[in-house]
Amino acid sequence: MGDVIGALIDGKPYIYRVQTGDTIELVAANLAQIIQSDRLALTQAASISLPGARSVVVRTVRDCPAVFESRRQEKDVRIICWCPSPSTRDSVAAAIDTSLNQANFLSLSDGTAARITYRNTASYDQAQNALLYRRDLIYGTEYPTVINIEQPSMIFGAAAVNGNLIYG
């Protein structure tokens, strides 16, 4: 995947996909070789001469990155607050909940976003280990599984007009 160079000569397309390590001279030579299957094409360094050509259009394109969402997933996230008193636990949990309540989406490392929604709260008023008080905040997250792909670009379009294929 990568760069493509094409020449539309007198209405006929010729396409060459650039390979890793190709120099501009090698690209010209390879494109000229493809053209020579139908007509005369002369190369000198990075130039191609086309004796007798009436119309020449040359284009380059690059493959485009695309992201395909293959499925969506849901996971619950549990935030556990261990605090030395019930009032501290309530304050800490409220601050976290307020902050997450203001964010409908969280950015993920792959460039996508996870939707976050409040699900539940569980409080434990009895002292847990070593006089610690606990509150669990439970949020649901919904996020995509994506596949990154390279899509080839169109260099010349074709249309049938009165039974004839015309490139442009």
> How long, in residues, is the chain?
168
CA distance 165 to 103: 54
**Would you state the pLDDT for residue 125?**
73
Q: Specify the DSSP element, H or E, that contains 27.
A: helix 24-35
Diameter over CA atoms, the chain: 93
pLDDT at 123: 86
Q: Are 165 and 158 in contact (CB under 8 A)?
A: yes
Phi, psi of 96 (to 5 degrees): -65, -45
Q: Evaluate whether 118 touches 136 at the Cβ level (below 8 Å).
A: no
- What is the predicted pLDDT for the residue at 129? 64
pLDDT at position 167 is: 72
Predicted pLDDT of residue 142: 97
Beta-bridged to residue 133, according to DSSP, are: 83
> Which residues sit opposite 71 in a β-bridge?
145
Residue 136: predicted pLDDT: 96
pLDDT tens, 127-142?
656 788 999 999 999 9
Q: Are 167 and 158 in contact (CB under 8 A)?
A: yes
Instruction: Tell me the pTM.
Output: 0.57
In this predicted structure, what is the pLDDT of residue 74?
A: 96
Would you state the pLDDT for residue 72?
95
Q: What Rg, from alpha-carbon coordinates, does the chain have?
A: 31
Residue 117: partners with Cβ closer than 8 Å, 6 or more residues away? 139, 140, 141, 142
Residues of the chain whose pLDDT is less than 50? Answer: none
Q: Which helix (H) or strand (E) holds 33?
A: helix 24-35
- What is the pLDDT of the chain when averaged over all its residues? 91
Q: Which helix (H) or strand (E) holds 92?
A: helix 86-101
